[in-house]
Every structure is written in structure tokens, then in C-alpha cells.
Amino acid sequence: MRDGGGRDTEKDLFGKEGGYQTFLSSKTLAYPCRVCSSGLKREAFLGGNIYFCPVCQKL
């Protein structure tokens, strides 16, 4: 992530977007899982949000 200049969902101090491609984020929530094609979920966690596939990432 550091070598890519940060996440593609964020910008640096100069307004340049990062080059590290984020697969699970608020921008990808509307799309299906890249592995199994099921719907992704968002849940609150420690004051932020996490994004995951409930099929591929079971408890």
C-alpha cells in the first residue's frame, strides 16, 4: 500500500489519488464479490466501517 502511494479511495496532501487498488470499500459495496459473486456487506467496527463478503469470509 505504501509503495502504491496509498489507497485509491484517498488523496495525499497535494490532492493526488493513491495507486493502491482497494477491493472492498464504500466504492465497491454496490458490486458483487470478485470471488463468489454474492453481495458484499458493510458493518460498523471500532468507530469505522468494514466491508466483507459474508460467503467467503465466514465467522
Give SS3 for 17. Answer: strand
12 grid coordinates: 495525499
pTM of structure? 0.63
In this predicted model, what pLDDT tens digit does every residue of 8-25 receive, in sequence order?
A: 777 878 888 888 877 788
Helices (H), 1-59: none
Cα separation, 43 vs 4, in Å, equals: 27
Sign (positive/negative) of CA torsion 18, 20, 25, 27? positive
Cα separation, 21 vs 48, in Å, equals: 19
In this predicted model, what pLDDT tens digit does every residue of 33-50 receive, in sequence order?
A: 989 999 999 999 999 888
